[in-house]
Amino acid sequence: MTTCLPTPALELPPPPPTPENLTYSLTLPAAPQSPAIARAATRSILRAHDLLDVTDAAVQVVSELAACACRFTPAAEVYVSLRYRDAALRVILYDSHPRHTHPRLAVACDARRRSTLRLLSCVVRSCEGDWGFGDAREPGGGTRMWAVLPRKGAGAYSGTGRTYE
């Protein structure tokens, strides 16, 4: 008697990393070491996805956002997201610092956060990108900070000489 065994599904190798499939999320401790960890992870991710031309700007932006998130959050962790879409790198950090409901506290806290992100603002502006912060839309609330770095502008910032349309 012959037994038929199911044929194993043909397993295809995962696609190689490209800019278009760059999608990463990290949860980091809200600790002084986390900006350095975020910088190292960002460098590795961008190298793997052949985005070396945006590395200088992206590493600076990730570092500034991670330091700010770790400074403001009352929680033990912060969340980092890196995505590449429409010829731009999108960096998002979430911290659990709640947005203030009292108008004067909200204005003061926003001014403090904006002051903390002065260098980030300069980097993003030189890359012709955009940045901001506001309420986190995820359950649990907190603050969402983000920056968008167009590849062409970030490449010019890095001085690689490579430009992309």
Over residues 115-128, the pLDDT tens digits come to 999 999 999 999 99
pTM for this one? 0.87
- Whether 161 shows a pLDDT value over 60: the answer reads no
- Whether 148 shows a pLDDT value over 60: the answer reads yes
- Is residue 60 within 8 Å of residue 123, measured between CB atoms? yes
Cα–Cα distance for residue pair 122/17, rounded to 1 Å: 30
> Which residues are CB-neighbours of 57 under 8 A, at least 6 positions away?
123, 126, 127, 149, 153, 154, 157, 158
pLDDT of residue 162: 53
pLDDT confidence band for 158 (50 / 70 / 90): confident
pLDDT of residue 141: 83
* 78-57-164 Cα angle (round to 5): 125
Could you tell me what percent of the chain has a pLDDT over 70? 90
pLDDT of residue 1: 59
- Whether 163 shows a pLDDT value over 60: the answer reads no
Closest CA to 127 of 102, 147, 157: 157
Mean pLDDT value across the chain: 91
Q: For residue range 65-112, what is the model confidence (pLDDT) as tens digits? A: 999 999 999 999 999 999 999 999 999 999 999 888 899 999 999 999
- Whether 52 shows a pLDDT value over 60: the answer reads yes
How far lies 32's CA from each of 14, 84, 154, in Å?
35, 27, 26
| 164 DSSP assignment | -
Cα–Cα distance for residue pair 135/156, rounded to 1 Å: 32
Q: Across residues 4-25, what is the average pLDDT?
A: 83
Q: Tell me if residue 159 falls in helix, strand or coil.
A: coil
